[in-house]
Amino acid sequence: MINENSSRWLWYSGDFEIRQSLLQNFSREERAYDWPAYWYMDDCHRNVKFKRYYDLAEPTEFKVDAKGVGYVEINDQKFPFGQTLTCPAGHNKIRVFVGNTEGLPAVYLTGEFIKSDIGWVCSNFIEEHPAGWSTLYTKVDQDPNQVYHAPEPVAYLNKKEIQGGVLFDFGRAIFGKLLIKELREGKPVTVCFGESETEALDEEMCYYKEISATAATSIRKRAFRYIFIPRIKAEDVEVSAVHEFIPLENKAAFRSDNPLLNQIWDVSVETFTLCSGLFFIDGIKRDRWIWSGDAYQSYFINQYLFFDEDINKRTMLALRGQNEIKQHMNTIVDYSILWLIGVENHYMMTNDVDFLQQIYPKMVAMMTYLQNQTNELGFIYGREKDWIFIDWSEMDKEGTLAAEQVLLLKAYHSMVVCGSILQKETIAYQDAYDQLYKNLLDHFWDEEKGAFIDSYESGKRHVTRHANIFAVLFDLVNPKQQHSILENVLLNDEITQITTPYFKFFEQDALCKLGETERVYEIILDYWGGMLAHDAMTFWEEYKPEETGADRYEMYGDPFGKSLCHAWGASPIYLLGHYFVGLVPTAPGYESFVVEPKLNNFDSLSCQFPIKDGLVTLNKTGDEVIIWTDKEGGEVHFNQQVFQLIKDEPLHLSMTLQPV
């Protein structure tokens, strides 16, 4: 962890994330062409001023390095970058001006007293904020315009001749570069990449293909497990690979008496780790974009695996962009709303008031943008070029959609919570919440169906799972309505089933909240285990058990359009930590927290999960349960009894303990 007094690269707050997100969202390729994201993208400021005051007992020396052009100013006297400068004793004003037409303007100050540590402010010559920085850029020889990945050499596990060529199987998903180590005849070859063997062997339709490659070819970073080189003999070619990643510490562990569940955990960890780098991205093969809906779920999974606060913040800042809003995030209305809700969740996880202070003005601007497209009933609607997504599912989207209103209600609540923490005026958000809540129930709750309908304007009274799931998750329905939704929607096979791991996350979350953990346990084994039965090494963007053969890989009308490594497929990590171990913060930053385990499905279990500045460990062997933490503030709820969890003192419980 970087010391507050240590030097680090400084930039205009939020600009590093905005600049790198632009580059990330321009990294997609498809069948020999590049595909930049199809929404409006901000870029960093090009001209930035940094400022700080010093009261010095004696003269001191310092040096300024910069990415860009500009100068240093000591008490209004200008000096060039790169020279050792002397600042006199007394009260001093240091300013650094830097402009960069090619990328991110940034500065690094080295000195005994004057250095680029905490305390500098930055300005775009209109607004002033604390300077931005990252723990990833603490050394002067680094360049915050570059991303530094750790390399991991990977050798293939199997090599065989097939279809007149050679197929290499690396036995795992790789997100990195292929190296042609040897090409004996020296003639250029075609290299076909595949997440599946079927894809790699399809020379015409495989998503990635390198044509006329030689041993000297520098092949760009791609995702693959299989490599197929047609029209060559096995003895004439050798390859290897380098997987590239940003190291993140896995702070969780999970082992049970069920080998399939253990495998599901391991594959979830692998999936999520691959999709977590500078930002949370959707998947490693196809888009590689930063999608707000995918990121929203990633924040929850991160909380129970890495507990990495910085990747949350980088992703949130990247998605939001500069202050002015010209378009919904990823063009999707619900993704803008989920971004707002995600900020509240992040605060509850971290208790990071400084970040909340930084991002709250952008929350206000986003909420204003959302409110500007509500009607007289407070219902949000889609404007021209807006995408009302929610999920890949058949919904009645005529007029305003119930699921969007439920999300907007939660966003108003998030504005009230976050604004109150910062002592801002929030009454207008509470009033908007109250109006929308009443109108939601009046227009979308169907008493006869015992559920929310998609649209009241169409007259179809069509019910899908989505609005009902959100209503349960966001505590918008009373116990009677919760039971009705459970019976009439979630446990009703006549309601269209959810096929994406994206909404399976929300569905299983809601089922667990309604006490159906044993049912969810079986769903995890069946649904995620079903992908493993199809040789999944990572979890997919979509899974339909009835699909077989090559049809399993089709999506978006593309035979290999489905991502086989998608961040939202890793939700078992969250479900197991949040509901089966029952670890939940009850105050921001886990100043207080609860462990309420549901262990009937386990004969034995050994696991640990991270919390803010600590860990919680749970072990079950037979009837004995031991829970331990290295942080104060914990409480265990077990068989309707409450036990204090004392720091560093194991709590011993028995499954035979009778409820009070």
Residue 660: predicted pLDDT: 61
Q: 185 — alpha (psi -120 to 50), left (phi > 0) or beta?
A: alpha
Does residue 103 sit in the same domain as residue 46? Answer: yes
Domain membership of residue 298 (yes or no) is: no
User: Which one, of 42, 53, 43, 19, lies nearest residue 121 by Cα?
Assistant: 53
Q: 40 — alpha (psi -120 to 50), left (phi > 0) or beta?
A: beta
pTM for this predicted structure: 0.97
Distances (CA, A) of 370 to 255, 334, 577, 622: 44, 10, 33, 52
- Structure token digits, residue 343: 């900020």
Domain membership of residue 9 (yes or no) is: no
CA–CA distance, 660 with 642 (Å, rounded to integer):
10
Pairing of the two strands 165-183 and 451-452: unpaired
Q: Domain ends where: 536, 566, 596? A: 566
Half-sphere exposure of 367 (CA within 13 A, CB side): 27
- Structure token digits, residue 411: 């966003």
Domain membership of residue 575 (yes or no) is: no
- Structure token digits, residue 296: 């929203």
Domain membership of residue 3 (yes or no) is: no
CA angle 192, 195, 201 (to 5 degrees): 40
Does residue 458 sit in the same domain as residue 335? Answer: yes
Residue 529: which domain range? 327-566
Determine whether 33 is exposed, middle or buried from the number of CB atoms within 10 Å of its CB (0-12, 13-18, 19+): exposed
591 Cβ contact list (under 8 Å, min separation 6):
351, 585, 633
Across the strands, what pairs with 638? 641
Work out the mean pLDDT of the chain and round it to a whole number: 97
Domain membership of residue 1 (yes or no) is: no
Does residue 366 sit in the same domain as residue 415? Answer: yes
Does residue 232 sit in the same domain as residue 348? Answer: no
Positions of the chain with pLDDT lower than 50, given as ranges:
none
Q: Domain ends where: 102, 130, 158? A: 130
Does residue 337 sit in the same domain as residue 226? Answer: no
Pairing of the two strands 47-56 and 651-654: unpaired
Does residue 155 sit in the same domain as residue 49? Answer: no
Domain membership of residue 194 (yes or no) is: yes
User: Which one, of 82, 88, 78, lies nearest residue 107 by Cα?
Assistant: 82
Number of H helices, E strands in the chain: 15, 29
Does residue 448 sit in the same domain as residue 488? Answer: yes
Does residue 367 sit in the same domain as residue 472? Answer: yes
Please provide the distance, in angstroms rounded to a whole number, between the alpha carbons at the two ends of the chain.
45
Q: Domain ends where: 534, 566, 598? A: 566
Provide the CATH number for the domain around residue 58.
2.60.120.260
Does residue 191 sit in the same domain as residue 126? Answer: no
Does residue 177 sit in the same domain as residue 224? Answer: yes
Across the strands, what pairs with 29? 34
- Structure token digits, residue 197: 């063997």
CA–CA distance, 339 with 410 (Å, rounded to integer):
11
Does residue 56 sit in the same domain as residue 122? Answer: yes
H/E stretch holding 311 reads helix 309-320
Residue 499: predicted pLDDT: 86
Does residue 265 sit in helix, strand or coil? helix
Domain membership of residue 296 (yes or no) is: no
94 Cβ contact list (under 8 Å, min separation 6):
51, 52, 53, 54, 72, 73, 74, 87, 114
Q: How far is CA 388 from the centre of its chain?
A: 21
- Structure token digits, residue 407: 């999300």
Distances (CA, A) of 39 to 339, 386, 467: 16, 11, 26
Sign of torsion over alpha carbons 252, 255, 256, 262: positive
Rg of the chain over all Cα atoms, to the nearest angstrom: 27
Q: Give the number of domains in the chain.
A: 4
User: Which one, of 442, 448, 478, 477, lies nearest residue 461 by Cα?
Assistant: 448
CA–CA distance, 612 with 524 (Å, rounded to integer):
27
User: What is the DSSP track for 190-255?
Assistant: EEEEESSHHHHT-TTT-SEEEEEE-TT--PPPEEEEEEEEES--GGGEEEEEEEEE-------EEE
Across the strands, what pairs with 636? 595, 643
Neighbours of 137 (CB within 10 A): 21
Does residue 241 sit in the same domain as residue 388? Answer: no
Provide the CATH number for the domain around residue 424.
1.50.10.10
Domain membership of residue 250 (yes or no) is: no
Provide the CATH number for the domain around residue 609.
2.60.420.10
301 Cβ contact list (under 8 Å, min separation 6):
272, 567, 570, 571, 573, 574
Does residue 20 sit in helix, strand or coil? helix
